[in-house]
Structure 1
Amino acid sequence: MEEVLKVAAIGVAGAICALVLKRNSPELGLAVTLAVGVVILLAALSVIMGIVEFIEVLADTAELDSDILAPLMKTVGIAIITKVAAEICRDAKENAIASFVETAGSAAAIFVALPLLKSVLEMITSLIS
């Protein structure tokens, strides 16, 4: 709970600072936005690592192979990075670049998930045979 309050406070303070700076210097406002984003992601890193550890414990309990878990974790990471990058581009009023970032992120997520899809297909094929 306290992590959420810290992140919220940093976000609101950063947004106000960026808003004030964007009036006179849009470039400086964008730089503040990026800096605040990095600080928020660093603050959330401990929570993210806790989630990853919990998922690994669940995978061990369910006796899931790491070949199944790795593509899932990579895909989630790609989605988060893509979302953040696209929103930064939109904040800079570069909607076309944001769309390209989202398209590239989608393609990367599908590419990373291909081994998982292959495993599922092999499992289904073995059940049918």
Structure 2
Amino acid sequence: MESVVRLAAAAVAAALCAVVVKQHAREVGAVLALAAGALLLGAALGAIEEVRALADELGELIGLSPAVLAPVLKTVGIAILTRIAAELCRDAGEGGIAAAAETAGAAAAVLTALPLLRAVLSTITGLL
């Protein structure tokens, strides 16, 4: 909980700094916002790795094969990256590119989830 509070405080401080800098030098403010975002994501990678390790452990405990668990984790990763990319585009004033990034992310997520959908269909047809 303490690390989340620190990350949130750092994000708010970086956003305020970026807003102030953007008033005088828009490009420098954009670079500051991107750098702050990259640092915050780097700090969050440790938490994401712990979640992945727990998901792998739970998969082993309940007997899920990695072929079933991997597409779920990859789809979540695609969703997170797509959201970040779209928000960065919106922040830069490029709403059209943000919408295209979201559409591409949705297509990539569906493509990544296809093996899982095939496994579900196989199980259903096996039950019938």
TM-score tier after normalising by the smaller chain length: over 0.9
Partner of 2:98: 98
Q: Which residue of 1 aligns with 2:13?
A: 13
Within a 5 Å distance, the mapping from 1:29-68 to structure 2 comes to 29-68=29-68
Counterpart of 1:48 in structure 2: which amino acid?
Answer: I
TM-score by length of 2: 0.97
Q: CA deviation at 1:10?
A: 1.1
Identity level (%) = 48
Distance in 2 separating the partners of 1:77 and 1:64 = 19
Q: Counterpart amino acid of 1:105?
A: G
Give the structure-1-normalised TM-score.
Answer: 0.96
Equivalent residue number for residue 84 of structure 1: 84
CA RMSD of aligned residues (A): 0.7
Q: Which runs of 5+ in 1 are unaligned?
A: none
Using the TM superposition, give the Cα deviation of residue 25 of structure 1 relative to its aligned residue in structure 2, in angstroms.
Answer: 1.6
Shift >4 Å, 4+ stretches: none
For residues 46-92 of structure 1, the C-alpha deviation after alignment (integer angstroms, 9 at most, x for no partner) is 11111111111110111000000111011000000000000000000
For residues 42 and 3 of structure 1, the distance between their equivalents in structure 2, rounded to whole angstroms, comes to 13
SS in 2 for 1:64: coil
Across the two proteins, how many residue pairs are aligned to each other? 128
Contact 1:15 1:33 in 2 (8 A): yes
Gaps of 5+ in 2: none
Shift in Å, 1:102: 0.2
**Contact 1:21/1:28 (CA < 8 Å) preserved in 2?**
yes
The answer to whether the 8 Å contact 1:19/1:29 transfers is: yes
